[in-house]
């Protein structure tokens, strides 16, 4: 990291005595390198294909590192590339210490780590520790007999008179219990049938996982993202899936045995986190993770008692309240991840913005709003181009969740139109279509046939166009990343939401020492009156905006401005 190196340099120059050295080390620990880092998420199968099989791969990623360096990001969160039958696109791992041949080899992976390091980019591996693939060697053993030493690596229960132990459901549809005739027991799976849950109560399982993590740390990875980490301490007999009683005990043990042995970044994925829990996850004492990826702002379009597929309108005031709450709650006692998108979520510009006449303005507005906040920003591949959702015919979809949902809802009596509406709005494949590099066939993603159809708007929306235009969405992201590195207020400023109840405007400040960072954004497509609050009408410098000229007393459709006041 640039910042990290320059810090080291300062450290060397100023070192005077062992005492001084110790105090500097403490300071360094407090200001961890990732505090002003920006992370870019790559979904490998959709990023860049190098060999024409239509599937993105590691050599493809290596060939695009210069692009990422130009964007300015500091780390790549790589969705899983381990050996896997690909039932859930790699979130079903059959060997944690090997790379799936579809993505390359372990040598390619080592080269990626080295090449990224040359560009001051760290690689964050995606750790799926809640479950493995049913084709993992442990599970193949586990299902042979009840006395097999690996049997206890998974969660088994006897049935009740030929039916599953209880009525728990799996995330991807159907019962959470699957019968195995060889052992005459059911195994527990929170996701697909091919993703049996690991038994974290078994200390041997935990030790195996820790050794595997240490093995990756030895290879020089820069960090880990921990998939559904809040679900590892499940207690199915009590129908507990997330936030089990032993959750934080397990995480602390893992952190001590692994992460704390290196200078790495860790981020726990926790759909079920509230601020109290997030303060544990991201405690600055480093006892658990660096930060937490929580989804309260994303999940707010889900109605009470319904599931995520039942569409509800966006409650904008609530969105602001939630984001503000997390900004305030984590201040100095925890650390936020900042994101709108990932590989499980629809494209934000389509979901809550405008992917038609104001696509460019809206994409930039989302960027400016998020990157002004406290935390570590995440950019999901294609977000920096303003990539949009898709509307495909059912047979073009690939995601197991989407396909299972369709089947299940047809059986429940929904009409195909209703189901497709949900899939268009929220299906995970919206984010998984291939990256748009240029306007050549298949968007420069592959020379072959892509594993999933390319979004037809790639001729207009692509990296080549974005790089050529100095006012592009890409360049807004590039500038926001630079601002975070050059202005301490982005890391340290205290957050305050203004006009909390305003139905269209999102306005907030960050205050640090004698500076104020003020962000004002119009979340909608109508021109809205806006005047700077009196107390902020001083010495202001515009750091970034998405319109050439800001009209006094108005915010134009999707306009966003960011000022620094001294
Ligand atoms: O996702 C966790 C999760 O619970 C949801 O995001 C899920 O993907 C779905 O959208 C719920 O409706 C993580 C990964 O990010 C996801 O890709 C995996 O499929 C899942 O875990 C299982 O490993
Ligand atoms: Ca390939």
- Kindly give the confidence (pLDDT) of every residue in the chain, 566 residues in length, as a single tens digit, with 9 standing for 90 and above: 333 333 333 333 333 344 444 444 444 445 678 899 999 999 999 999 999 999 999 999 999 999 999 999 999 999 999 999 999 999 999 999 999 999 999 999 999 999 999 999 999 999 999 999 999 999 999 999 999 999 999 999 999 888 999 999 999 989 999 999 999 999 999 999 999 999 999 999 999 999 999 999 999 999 999 999 999 999 999 999 999 999 999 999 999 999 999 999 999 999 989 999 999 999 999 999 999 999 999 988 888 888 889 988 899 999 999 999 999 999 999 999 999 999 999 999 999 999 999 999 999 999 999 999 999 999 999 999 999 999 999 999 999 999 999 999 999 999 999 999 999 999 999 999 999 999 999 999 999 999 999 999 999 999 999 999 999 999 999 999 999 999 999 999 999 999 999 999 999 999 999 999 999 999 999 999 999 888 898 889 999 999 998 888 999 999 999 999 99
The pLDDT of residue 343: 98
**Within 10 A of 538 (CB to CB), how many other CB atoms are there?**
10
- Mark whether 307 is an active-site residue: no
Helix (H, G, I), strand (E, B) or coil at 406: helix
Helix (H, G, I), strand (E, B) or coil at 526: coil
Instruction: Provide the CB-side half-sphere exposure for 238 (13 A, CA).
Output: 9
Q: What is the pTM of this model?
A: 0.94
Sort strands 528-529 and 554-555 into parallel, antiparallel or unpaired.
Answer: antiparallel
Judge whether 448 and 53 are in contact, CB under 8 Å. yes
Distance of CA 230 to the CA centre of its chain: 15
Say how far apart CA 156 and CA 165 lie, in whole Å: 10
- Separation in Å, CA 226 to CA 126, 204, 221, 295, 320: 6, 19, 14, 14, 27
Query: Rg for the chain (alpha carbons), in Å?
Result: 24
Judge whether 125 and 221 are in contact, CB under 8 Å. yes
Helix (H, G, I), strand (E, B) or coil at 343: coil
Closest residue by CA, ligand 1 atom 10: 344
Partners of 188 in the beta sheet? 177
The pLDDT of residue 340: 98
Q: What is the DSSP letter of 375?
A: S
Contacting residues for 318 by C-beta, under 8 A, at least 6 apart: 300
Judge whether 443 and 454 are in contact, CB under 8 Å. yes
The preferred substitution site among 132, 191, 294, 339 for testing ligand 1, maximizing ligand atoms within 8 Å of CB, is: 191
Q: How remote is the CA of residue 355 from the centroid of ligand 2, in Å?
A: 30
Catalytic residue among 227, 355, 401, 504: 227
Q: How remote is the CA of residue 344 from the centroid of ligand 1, in Å?
A: 6
Q: How remote is the CA of residue 216 from the centroid of ligand 1, in Å?
A: 23
Distance of CA 438 to the CA centre of its chain: 25
**CA torsion angle 133 134 139 143 (round to 10):** 170
Q: What is the DSSP letter of 240?
A: B
């Amino acid at each position: 990291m640039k910042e990290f190196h320059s810090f080291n340099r300062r450290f060397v120059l100023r070192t005077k005595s062992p005492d001084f050295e110790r105090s500097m080390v403490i300071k360094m620990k407090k200001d961890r390198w990732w505090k002003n880092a920006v992370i870019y998420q790559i979904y490998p199968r959709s990023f860049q294909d190098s060999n024409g099989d239509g599937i993105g791969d590691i050599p493809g990623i290596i060939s695009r590192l210069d692009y990422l360096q130009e964007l300015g990001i500091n780390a790549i969160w790589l969705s899983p590339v381990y050996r896997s039958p690909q039932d859930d696109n790699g979130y079903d791992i059959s060997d944690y210490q090997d790379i799936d041949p579809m993505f390359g080899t372990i040598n390619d992976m080592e080269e990626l780590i080295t090449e990224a390091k040359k560009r001051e980019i760290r690689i964050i591996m995606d750790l799926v520790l809640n479950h493995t693939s049913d084709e993992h060697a442990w599970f193949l053993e586990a299902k042979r007999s009840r006395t097999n030493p690996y049997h206890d690596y998974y969660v088994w229960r006897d049935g009740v008179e030929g039916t599953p132990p209880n009525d728990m459901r799996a995330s991807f549809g159907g019962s959470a219990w699957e019968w195995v005739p060889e052992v005459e027991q059911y195994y527990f799976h929170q996701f697909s049938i091919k993703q049996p849950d690991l038994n974290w109560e078994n200390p041997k399982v935990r030790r195996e996982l820790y050794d595997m993590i240490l093995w990756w740390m030895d290879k020089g990875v820069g960090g880990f993202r921990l998939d559904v980490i809040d679900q590892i301490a499940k207690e199915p007999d009590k129908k507990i899936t997330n936030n089990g009683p032993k959750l934080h005990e397990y995480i602390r043990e893992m952190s001590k045995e692994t992460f704390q042995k290196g200078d790495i970044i860790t981020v726990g994925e926790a759909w079920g986190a509230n601020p109290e829990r997030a303060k544990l996850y991201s405690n600055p004492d480093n006892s658990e993770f660096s930060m937490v990826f929580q989804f309260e702002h994303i999940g707010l379009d889900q109605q009470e008692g319904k599931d995520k597929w039942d569409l509800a309108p966006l409650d904008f005031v609530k969105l602001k309240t939630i984001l503000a709450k997390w900004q305030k709650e984590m201040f100095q006692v925890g650390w936020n991840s900042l994101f709108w998108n990932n590989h499980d979520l629809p494209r934000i510009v389509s979901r809550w913005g405008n992917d038609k006449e104001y696509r460019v303005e809206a994409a930039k507005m989302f960027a400016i709003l998020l990157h002004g906040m406290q935390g570590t920003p995440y950019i999901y591949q294609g977000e920096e181009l303003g990539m949009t959702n898709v509307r495909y015919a059912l047979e073009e979809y690939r995601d197991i969740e989407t396909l299972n949902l369709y089947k299940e809802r047809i059986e429940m009596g929904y009409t195909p139109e209703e189901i497709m509406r949900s899939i268009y709005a929220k299906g995970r494949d919206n984010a998984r279509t291939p990256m748009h590099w240029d306007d050549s066939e298949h968007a420069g993603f592959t020379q072959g046939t892509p594993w999933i159809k390319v979004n037809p708007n790639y001729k207009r929306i692509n990296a080549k166009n974005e790089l050529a235009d100095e006012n592009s969405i890409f360049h807004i992201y590039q500038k926001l990343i630079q601002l975070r590195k050059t202005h301490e207020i982005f890391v340290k400023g205290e957050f305050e939401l203004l006009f909390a109840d305003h139905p269209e405007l999102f306005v907030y400040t960050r205050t640090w020492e004698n500076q104020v960072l003020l962000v004002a954004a119009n979340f909608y497509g109508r021109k809205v009156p806006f005047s700077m609050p009196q107390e902020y009408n001083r010495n202001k410098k515009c750091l970034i905006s998405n319109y050439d000229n800001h009209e006094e007393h108005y915010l134009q459709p999707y306009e966003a401005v960011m000022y620094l006041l001294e």
